[in-house]
Amino acid sequence: MTTNPISRFFRWFFYRSRGDSPFKTILIHATLIIACVIAVYPVLRVVTISLRPNDTLLTTDLRIIPENATLDNYKEVLFGDAEKNRQSDFFLWIWNSVSVVAVTSVISVILAAISAYAFSRFRFPGRSAGLIFLLTTQMIPAGMLLLPLFIMIAKLKMINTPLGLIIAYAVTSVPLTIWTLKGYYDTIPVDLEEAALIDGASRLTVFTKIILPLSTPALAIAFLFSFMGGWSEYLVARVVLQKNEMFTWPLGIFTFAQQFTVSWGQFAAASVLIAIPIMALFLYSSKWLISGLTLGSVKG
Amino acid sequence: MESDNFLRRNLPNILWIAAIVSIYFVLSSLIAPFSDGITLSSKIIGERLQEIGGFLFAILGGLAIIEIYFYQIFFRQPLNRTATIVTRAIQVAMGLLTFTFIIYFFNLTDLIKLGDSAIGKFVNMPVNSFANLQKSLISSKVATKDSAKMVAGIIFALGILVLYAIIQFASKPRNSRVGLAYLLIMPAFIGVLFLIIYPFLFEIKLAFSNASLGTQATKNAQYSLLFGWENLKMLFTGTVAKDAKFFEVFWRTILWTVINVTFHVLGGMGLAILLNRPLKFKGFYRTLLVIPWAIPTTIAAMALRSEFDSRYGLFNILLGNLNTWLTTVSQNTANIIGIGNGFAWLAATIGPVSWKQDPFWAFVSVLLANIWLGIPFMSVIILGGLQSISQEYYEAAEIDGATRWQQFRNITLPLLRPVLTPAIILGVVWTFNKFDIIYLITQGGPQEKTDILVSSMYKAAFQFYRYGFTAMFALVIFAILFIFTLFYLRVSDGLKSATE
């Protein structure tokens, strides 16, 4: 009827609201926008700090893009500090983190993919005890086993090696992954396998040819879970790794804060560089992550 | 044709690899060769890959040996009497060997102390002979120093494989109903045994010791029930880390857990209900709202720590601005009785806060940070639950004339229960144990007034090196959590569905 663009916009905007009055719709949008600002603003502040020139790091300015914005901090983080004649450790940290966390995730996904199948499909003595035990391990604080693990790792001469950290991370990641994958296997209909078994396929063929291909998304989720669990871990890594060249990135960026003059600019730049890919990955995969979470915890 | 096909199929992968390699070369040419510090080089990468590869290879080899052992027990049947004797003899010998390895491991990590006794020597025998084999390999120039371990390992594995081959030839297949299941869970079972059961046993042992920095951890530590009693007494009457007492920290932990979980659930529920309505820009809001969950915790904690700075932090800037505004308003409204005084009172009360020095505000600061971090997770879980509730229930309720609140109470909440129950129980346990935020933001300060149980324990172990005490502390924390879980499971009947 009306061709007025503003009124058209309003009609579009309020179109699907289920019997809500316009006032209420606006109220809901306002609440959500405030929530979004609270969620995003502290993160944007990190970007702001990373863009500030070094002489105006300490300011009470609240703008998102600061005055005289520069990329100097990024340059220093990535390519080293010419003034202090110091090379950049950034890629080393990333490599240390990736190598430790990726190996942990691969080990736990492989172990879990195999054993979760047994828990899901076979009935054997000790099965429910095993499942309850796995659930109980979720109650154990990671910090609780840290001391004996630390002593064990020290006795095995694995302090300051990636292997020690891999062992420490596997403690939390293996049970969680088994639990997640078992939940997913339970949702795959048994009929498929039974048909294949009747046709003469062995259990092994069934597992590799039917179950594994069908559960690729769940395997990816489990991998992501355990990857994200270890990726930004600080406290365990601090205990196991003490040498600079072994540092994972959380330890690494913490050195920026511990230096004599706190290098907030470099800290922020390094944070942004690390956070962008991982956040992109997270947001991209969040839909599946959520389904994985509910599978593991709700459906059992 | 074949090669053409291959190229076409793998072109994207090849391009990816080429892109990564070229990025690597561009970056490595850009990185200036300064003298100080270490930069990632292909040498470091190669060494790391070798180290991890060797580790994985050893694990795989060990697992394969164990798997074949149990495969033969479950699925092979000896042909005749002599075969039975030989087979069982080999299997018992292998079992004994494994057993000595386990005892050796216990001895190595000080779970048990054998010293130079006869048993100790016997237990050390396999490992010593392995070391001797390495030495002879080096002296006979078969292997270099670096590869000796691997070559010796391969020889060792080959020897075992020969034994397996003997059993294999002297047996016929048989059926086993549960064998495959056990074979499948074996690797994870061994992993859990090594990673969880063993450390747990070790912790119990440690709890009854006087291990500390003075005893060089477990090297010279002594074990007795008396030490356990001392540790326990120390825990409840003495200080848990350096300044704080147990019950003070305990109540703070309860407060920490209750406040966090309450706000997570309420905030998450509120956002989820709003997002579950038909709305424009829903996807956009949802993406922005999960950002606190998506950002790595370490980064978020460090960023928030700088925001709690007394002069340059966001919170004090905002509070300062609010204070200035309130002051001006109170001056402008000074003539109006009541309002003017009210604003003057507000201006005097609300203002910048010393987040770092004041224990109360320090605790508020870690709470704020953790609530901010935790709400998105809950809201996403609850949103998932809400979306699975059929719209028909609400339509039917509306026809019957139920109000919104009645719909929420009688439809939404009961149907959310299967989602909410595990989410809350896990939320409580996670929050109870989650101290990285506290550690990174306040380090438990000032004077350990923001420590919770787990962070005190971490400090006791790795700042004050009170190992025996920490082990007892950990057991007490575990007992608290265990009682909570049992209680909750009894109330909510939660495990039944999980193990069906």
Query: What does the pLDDT look like over A249-262, one tens digit per residue?
Result: 888 888 877 665 66
pLDDT (tens digit, 9 = 90+) per residue, B384-393?
888 888 888 8
Distances (CA, A) of A128 to A45, A119, A135, B248, B499: 49, 9, 11, 39, 6
What are the domain boundaries of chain B? 61-176, 246-499
Calculate the average pLDDT of chain B: 83
Q: Do B39 and A88 touch (CB under 8 A)?
A: yes
pLDDT above 70 covers what percent of chain B?
Answer: 93
Closest CA to A248 of A137, A81, A59, A92: A92
Query: What are the CA-CA distances from residue B257 to residues A62, A142, B153, B209, B416 (Å)?
Result: 32, 17, 50, 31, 22
The answer to which of A93-102, B66-75, B304-313 has the lowest mean pLDDT is B304-313
- Report whether pLDDT(A300) > 50: no
Looking at mean pLDDT, say which of A132-136, B3-7, B236-240, B438-442 comes out highest: B438-442
Residue B223: which of B233, B213, B209, B211 has the closest Cα? B209
Mean local confidence (pLDDT), A21-45 = 87
A174–B195: do the CB atoms touch at under 8 Å?
yes
**pLDDT at B470 exceeding the cut of 70:** yes
For A45-87, write each residue's pLDDT tens digit. 888 888 888 766 666 677 777 777 778 888 888 877 766 666 7
User: Which residue type occupies B364?
Assistant: V
SS3 content of chain B, % helix, strand, coil (to 5): 75, 5, 20
Mean pLDDT score across all residues of chain A: 80
Question: For residue B257, what pLDDT is reported?
Answer: 93
Q: What is the pLDDT of residues A201-227, one digit of tens each?
A: 888 888 888 888 888 888 888 888 888
Q: Name the A residues in 150-179 with CB < 8 Å from any B CB.
A: 150-152, 154-156, 161-163, 166-167, 170-171, 174-175, 178
Q: How many CB atoms lie within 10 A of CB B462?
A: 18
What angle do the packed helices A22-51 and A264-294 form, to 10 degrees?
140
Tell me the pLDDT tens digit for each residue of B107-149. 887 777 777 777 878 888 888 888 888 888 888 877 777 778 8
The verdict on B300 touching A (C-beta cutoff 8 Å) is yes
In this structure, are residues A108 and A170 in contact, taking their beta carbons and an 8 Å threshold? yes
Confidence band of B29 (pLDDT split at 50, 70, 90): low
Q: Does A185 touch chain B (CB under 8 A)?
A: no
User: B426 vs A297: CB contact, 8 Å cut-off?
Assistant: yes
Nearest by CB to residue A87, choosing from B36, B278, B471, is B36
Nearest residue in chain A measured CA to CA from B272:
A32
Select the residue of B203, B314, B499 nearest A132 (Cβ to Cβ).
B499
Pick from B59, B195, B476 the residue to mutate for testing the A interface (most A CBs within 10 Å).
B195
Give B31's DSSP letter: S
Predicted pLDDT of residue A296: 47
Write the single-letter amino acid at B467.
Y
A28 at interface of B, judged by CB pairs closer than 8 A: yes
Report which of residues B500 and A270 the model is more confident about: A270
Percentage of chain B modeled with pLDDT above 90: 7
Q: Does A43 touch chain B (CB under 8 A)?
A: yes
The angle that helices A264-294 and A90-121 make with each other, rounded to 10 degrees, is 10
**Would you call A98 an interface residue with chain B, using a CB distance cutoff of 8 Å?**
no
Residue B222 vs residues A16, A153, B205, B419: alpha-carbon distances, Å: 73, 21, 10, 48
* pLDDT for the residue B34: 60
The pLDDT value recorded for residue A297 is 44
Instruction: Find the CB nearest B485 among A139, A155, A290.
Output: A139
Q: What is the pLDDT of residues A234-292, one digit of tens each?
A: 888 888 888 888 888 888 888 877 665 667 888 888 888 888 888 888 877 776 766 66
Cβ(A237)–Cβ(A160) below 8 Å: no
CB pairs under 8 A between A and B: 343
Indicate the class that CATH gives domain B246-499. mainly alpha
Going by pLDDT thresholds of 50, 70 and 90, the confidence category of residue B331 is: confident
**pLDDT given at position A20:** 66
Whether B344 has a pLDDT exceeding 60, the answer reads yes
Q: Percent of chain A, pLDDT > 90?
A: 5
Under DSSP, the state recorded for A244 is G
Name the token pair of B279: 């709305």
Please provide the DSSP assignment of B400-442 as one string.
Answer: TT--HHHHIIIIIHHHHHHHHHHHHHHHHHHHHH--HHHHHHT
- Asked which of A156-160, A179-183, B38-42 is least confident by mean pLDDT, the reply is B38-42
Element (H, E) at B78: strand B76-78
Q: What is the pLDDT of residues B392-440, one digit of tens each?
A: 888 888 888 888 888 888 888 888 887 787 788 878 888 888 888 898 8
Contacts of B419 in chain A (CB under 8 A): 294, 298
**Which residue does chain B place closest to A101, by CA atoms?**
B52
Mean per-residue pLDDT for B364-382? Answer: 90
Question: CA of B296, closest CA in chain A: separation in Å?
Answer: 6
* B residues 451-490 lying closer than 8 A (beta carbon) to A: 454, 457-458, 461-462, 467, 470-471, 474, 477-478, 481-482, 485
A137 CB neighbours in chain B (<8 A) are 192, 196
Interchain pair B289, A156: CB under 8 A: no
Nearest neighbour of B384 by CB, restricted to A45, A142, A290: A290
Instruction: Give the separation between CA A193 and CA A211, rounded to whole angstroms.
Output: 8
Domain residue extents for chain A:
5-70, 90-299
Mean pLDDT of the A130-156 span: 80
Question: In the block, which residue shows the tokens 């700042």?
Answer: B463
Q: Which residue in A223, A196, A226, A198 sits closest to A211, CA to CA?
A: A196
pLDDT > 70? residue B77: yes
CB–CB contact B372 A38 (8 Å): yes
Nearest C-alpha neighbor of B377 from the set A293, A36, A42, A135: A293
Mean pLDDT, range A23-31, rounded to an integer: 86
Which backbone phi and psi does B161 adopt, to 5 degrees?
A: -60, -35
Confirm if B275 and A28 have CB atoms less than 8 A apart. no
Query: What pLDDT does residue A290 have?
Result: 65
Nearest-Cα distance to chain A for B60, in Å, is 10
Does residue B24 sit at the A interface (CB-CB below 8 Å)? Answer: no
B208 at the A interface (CB within 8 A)? Answer: no
Tell if the CB–CB gap between B56 and A29 is shorter than 8 Å. Answer: no
Helical spans, DSSP H, in B276-403: 282-289, 291-294, 297-307, 314-332, 339-349, 359-387, 391-399
pLDDT at A294: 57
What secondary structure does DSSP assign to B90-115, as a single string? HHHHHHHHHHHHHHHHHHHTTSS--T
Query: Confidence class of residue A293 from pLDDT cuts 50, 70 and 90?
Result: low
Please tell me the CATH code under which domain A90-299 is placed.
1.10.3720.10
pLDDT, tens digit, 9 for 90 and up, residues A5-25: 777 766 666 655 456 677 888
Residue of B nearest to A47 (CA): B303
Closest partner residue to A253 (CB to CB) among B300, B302, B498 is: B302
Residues listed for chain A: 300
Show Cβ contacts of residue B410 under 8 Å, excluding neighbours closer than 6 positions: B397, B402
* CA dihedral for B274, B276, B278, B280, sign (positive or negative): positive
pLDDT band at B256 (very low <50, low <70, confident <90, very high): very high
User: How large is the average pLDDT for residues B480-495?
Assistant: 73
CB A117 within 8 A of CB B68: no
Predicted confidence (pLDDT) at residue B459 exceeds the cutoff of 80: yes
With a cut of 60, say whether residue B469 has pLDDT above it. Answer: yes
Mutate to test the interface with B, among A132, A152, A242, A276 (most CBs of B within 10 A): A152
**Mean pLDDT on B237-264:** 88
Asked if A92 lies within 8 A of B38 by C-beta distance, the reply is yes
B280 Cα to chain A: minimum distance (Å): 7
pLDDT tier at B262 (50, 70, 90 boundaries)? very high
Asked if A26 is an interface residue toward chain B (Cβ–Cβ < 8 A), one would say no
- Write down the pLDDT at residue B267: 93
Window 382-441 of B, Cβ < 8 Å to A: 384-385, 418-419, 422-423, 426, 429, 432-433, 435-436, 439-440
Q: H-helix or E-strand containing B129?
A: helix B118-139
pLDDT over 50 (residue A299): no
Grade residue B14 by pLDDT with cuts at 50, 70 and 90: confident
